[in-house]
Amino acid sequence: MSASITANKQLYYELYRRSSIGMQLTDALDELIQSGHINPVLAMRVLNEFDKSIATNLAKNVKAKAQLKGHLKDYRLCEEVWTFRVRNATLKLDNSELLDVDKVKIVACKMADSTSK
């Protein structure tokens, strides 16, 4: 898992670039580069800002919780990033709604130390 560094030298994971909105942004930036409207350096700055913005807004605005029950297929720790893959899982959301899913992948990243700002 890689990470990007913003102008204030804070580290943000590139995790959300693989989300649907992140993939759409990447595709749009690639088209702009191919057509000569922007250069690759500007595209990287946009992606780094995306990493920062999405991480900040999710941490600040999302307060929902869920419970997960299922069969742990595997897990690993690499560079302070935990990855868990669960099969035949049931998610219980805040509103008590139950969701049965075949596969769940959970990626947990270390938060930045607030004292280092």
Please check whether residue 117 lies inside any domain of the structure. Answer: no
pLDDT-derived band at 10 (thresholds 50, 70, 90) equals low
pLDDT tens for each residue of 35-57: 999 999 999 999 999 999 998 99
Q: Same domain, yes or no, for 71 and 37?
A: no
Dist. CA 40–CA 29, nearest whole Å = 9
Token pair for 72: 């742990």
pLDDT-derived band at 13 (thresholds 50, 70, 90) equals confident
Structural domains in the chain (count): 2
Q: Same domain, yes or no, for 56 and 87?
A: no
Q: Same domain, yes or no, for 50 and 80?
A: no
CATH number at residue 50: 1.10.287.190
Dist. CA 79–CA 61, nearest whole Å = 27
For 7-16, letters b (16+ CB in 10 Å) and e give eeeeebbbbb
Q: How many CA atoms are closer than 13 Å to the CA of 27, on its beta-carbon side?
A: 7
Structural domain span for residue 49: 3-61
pTM over 0.75: no
